Amino acid sequence: MRCGGITAPASNNSLVVVELFTSEGCSSCPPADALLAKFAEHSPVGNAQVVALEEHVDYWDEQGWKDPFSSHNWTARQYAYAGVLGNGNPYTPQMVVDGSVEFSGGRAQQALQSITQAATRAKALVTLTQEAPGKPGTENFSVQVDQLTPSGKGGAAEVWLAITETGLHSSVTRGENAGHELRHAAIVRSMRKIGEAKPGRDISFTAETAMPLKSDWKRENLKAVAFVQEKNSLRILGAAEISLHP
With respect to residue 205, please indicate whether it lies within any of the assigned structural domains: yes
Q: For 94-114, what is each residue's pLDDT tens digit? A: 999 999 999 999 999 999 999
Q: Strands 138-146 and 203-212: what pairing?
A: antiparallel
Please give the average per-residue pLDDT across 50-79, as a whole number.
97
With respect to residue 64, please indicate whether it lies within any of the assigned structural domains: yes
For residue 127, list its beta bridge partners: 144
CA 93 – CA 151 distance, rounded (Å): 30
Q: What is the pTM of this model?
A: 0.93
Cβ-contact 242, 222 below 8 angstroms: no
Domain with 91 in it: 6-243
With respect to residue 1, please indicate whether it lies within any of the assigned structural domains: no
Q: For 223-232, what is each residue's pLDDT tens digit? A: 999 999 999 9
Task: Centre a 10 Å sphere on the Cβ of residue 105 and count the other Cβ atoms it contains.
Answer: 28
With respect to residue 85, please indicate whether it lies within any of the assigned structural domains: yes
CATH number of the domain that 14 lies in?
A: 2.60.40.10
Cβ-contact 164, 174 below 8 angstroms: no
In angstroms, the Cα distances linking 34 to 61, 93, 105, 214, 220 are 21, 11, 10, 25, 20
With respect to residue 200, please indicate whether it lies within any of the assigned structural domains: yes
Q: For 134-186, what is each residue's pLDDT tens digit? A: 888 999 999 999 999 867 676 789 999 999 999 999 999 999 999 999 999 99
Helix (H) or strand (E) run with residue 37 in it: helix 29-41
DSSP reduced 3-state for 192: strand
Number of domains present in the structure of the chain: 1
**Taking 70 as the threshold, does the pLDDT of residue 2 lie above it?**
no
Q: Strands 94-97 and 15-22: what pairing?
A: antiparallel
With respect to residue 53, please indicate whether it lies within any of the assigned structural domains: yes
